[in-house]
Amino acid sequence: MGKPTGFMEYGREVSREQGPKERIGHFREFHEHLPLERQRLQGARCMECGVPFCQSGMMIGGMASGCPLHNLIPEWNDLVYHGNWEQAYYRLKKTNSFPEFTSRVCPALCEAACTCGLNGTPVSTKENEYAIIEHAYEQGYARADPPKVRTGKKVAVVGSGPSGLAAADQLNKRGHSVTVFERSDRVGGLLMYGIPNMKLEKEIVDRKRRIMEAEGVNFVTGVDVGRDKKAQELLEEFDRVVLACGASEPRDINAPGRDAQGIYFAVDFLKANTKSLLDSGFGDGKYVDANGKDVIVIGGGDTGNDCVGTVIRHGAKSVSQIEMMPKAPEERAEDNPWPQWPRVCKTDYGQQEAIAVYGRDPRIYETTVKEFLKNEEGCLTGVKTVGLAWKKDQKSGRMVMEEVEGSQRTLRADMVLIAAGFLGAQRYVAEAFGVELDQRGNVRTEAGAYATNKEKVFTAGDMHRGQSLVVWAIREGREAARAVDESLMGYSNLAVQ
């Protein structure tokens, strides 16, 4: 695929980022993408490797290697190289419902498994994907395409995050009448309120919503199923129900002083920030302002990084990010070979900005919070932390954390944002429908299946598999749609991969 000698003739080239001190002045996306002619040369680097690990989506060492959607990457890289952008779009859409989202927020599992990256730099597949989908919108290829025949079947999808949207999109294409219920005031779930605007501008989400509406999907916002609308009503009104409510139960930090004013869950902080930005450009004041504050973010994942980038844009006085895990190595370890996902240190956009603004990396590794400090008025003033060491338990053989004696320290803090992950689905929805949960708090199904213990009720996405990536949510939504379709029609011609 591509040009047989392209990987030797052309170097990897990706979009240019605005400098950290420039981009912190706004909440817009900050990448300047390549012109199409230069992007074509990136398609030329795809090297006809014989076994395209990039599209495999295999689990190796407990982590995915390659794209979970099994995108036909070598095919559309070749089409990009030859300038056949329209056909590249149709090949891309065969497996990916929302390349406009994944080309912005996916960590590019495909590139980590690229054969070209084994002894050099991988093909810029994510950038090629971005070029394909945005060119399709510009040229009109990505226009609405409503189904020509309707089946007469009605499906309710609860939740409009990536899994719910993917399920709705596929079921609507099959000809079923789909209604999506969203408890927030805008469609998109975590795409809308869980991912900051500088990573995914919300007009991109609205653009896709408008197309889905034109194709016949009905969106109902501001309705919290299980509270505002009873589960039984949906079961009586619709032939099938898909629960795609996400893993939205945040993990708390149970330490003395937790009741101090100034401690927030990251998901609440990010949602309020984006909603205020979209509603009024922050004019309504309905967000948690970090301006002039010493901020501590607890959690080292993507959500923690998003919090770092957001408070810097507010004008935080300082920001630190506490991580329990040790710092990952700069290069692959011997026990982490290609094509496994590389467990290496990644300095993301928020950390880059903190280094530029404050002169230091905000991350504090192998550390946990022991106590939140507050003044007489109950307001947060700081946190006490302790260092951690990982040691092998002699009985179980597992690695366990132990506190390091004498490592206690006190950090100044006016605000703490808890980004320590999620514990599964919010239980009231599961209880309303009577579906079983597993030990992790996710909706239980048979392995590899999407039907719950309740007749007519299916599940998908983070609510089913636990907190994960957008690309996994899309795959789950597509697979759940096929399962729903089979249960309604006795067979399915919906593509999953």
CATH number at residue 464: 3.50.50.60
**302 and 393 share a domain?**
yes
Are 396 and 468 contained in the same domain? no
438 and 305 inside one domain: no
Q: Do both 411 and 429 map to the same domain?
A: no
Indicate whether 255 belongs to any domain.
no
User: Is there a domain that residue 93 lies in?
Assistant: yes
Model confidence pLDDT, tens digit, residues 352-366: 999 999 999 999 999
User: How do the pLDDT tens digits run along the chain, 497 residues long?
Assistant: 568 888 989 999 999 999 999 999 999 999 999 999 999 999 999 987 888 999 999 998 888 899 999 999 999 999 999 999 999 999 999 999 999 999 999 999 999 999 999 889 999 999 999 999 999 999 999 999 999 999 999 999 999 999 999 999 999 999 999 999 999 999 999 999 999 999 999 999 999 999 999 999 999 999 999 999 999 999 999 999 999 999 988 999 999 999 999 999 999 999 999 999 999 999 999 999 999 999 999 999 999 999 999 999 999 999 999 999 999 999 999 999 999 999 999 999 999 999 999 999 999 999 999 999 999 999 999 999 999 998 888 888 888 889 999 999 999 999 999 999 998 888 999 999 999 999 999 999 999 999 999 999 999 999 999 999 999 999 999 999 999 999 999 999 997 76
Which CATH number goes with the domain that contains 10?
Answer: 1.10.1060.10
Whether 388 is covered by a domain: the verdict is yes
Specify the amino acid at residue 309: G
CA atoms of 307 and 313, how far apart (whole Å) = 10
Last residue of a domain, one of 139, 164, 197: 139
121 found inside a domain: yes
Looking at the structure, tell me whether residues 113 and 30 fall in a common domain. Answer: yes
pTM above 0.85, yes or no: yes
pLDDT digits over 30-65, tens only?
A: 999 999 999 999 999 998 788 899 999 999 888 889
Same domain, 55 and 202: no
Q: Residue 146 falls within a domain, yes or no? A: no
What is the number of domains present in the chain? 3
Shared domain for 301 and 173, answered yes or no, is: no
- 112 & 189 share domain: no
Domain of residue 186, residue span? 154-248+423-489
Q: Evaluate whether residue 436 is within a structural domain.
A: yes
Domain annotation covers residue 148? no
- Answer yes or no: do 272 and 407 share one domain: yes
At what angle are helices 302-314 and 349-358 packed, to 10 degrees? 40
Do 309 and 359 fall into the same domain?
yes
Residue 258 falls inside a structural domain: no
**Which of 110, 139, 168 corresponds to the end of one domain?**
139
- Shared domain for 73 and 26, answered yes or no, is yes
- Could you tell me if 209 and 276 lie in one domain? no
Domain boundary at 139, 172, 195, which? 139
Q: Are strands 367-374 and 380-392 parallel, antiparallel or unpaired?
A: antiparallel
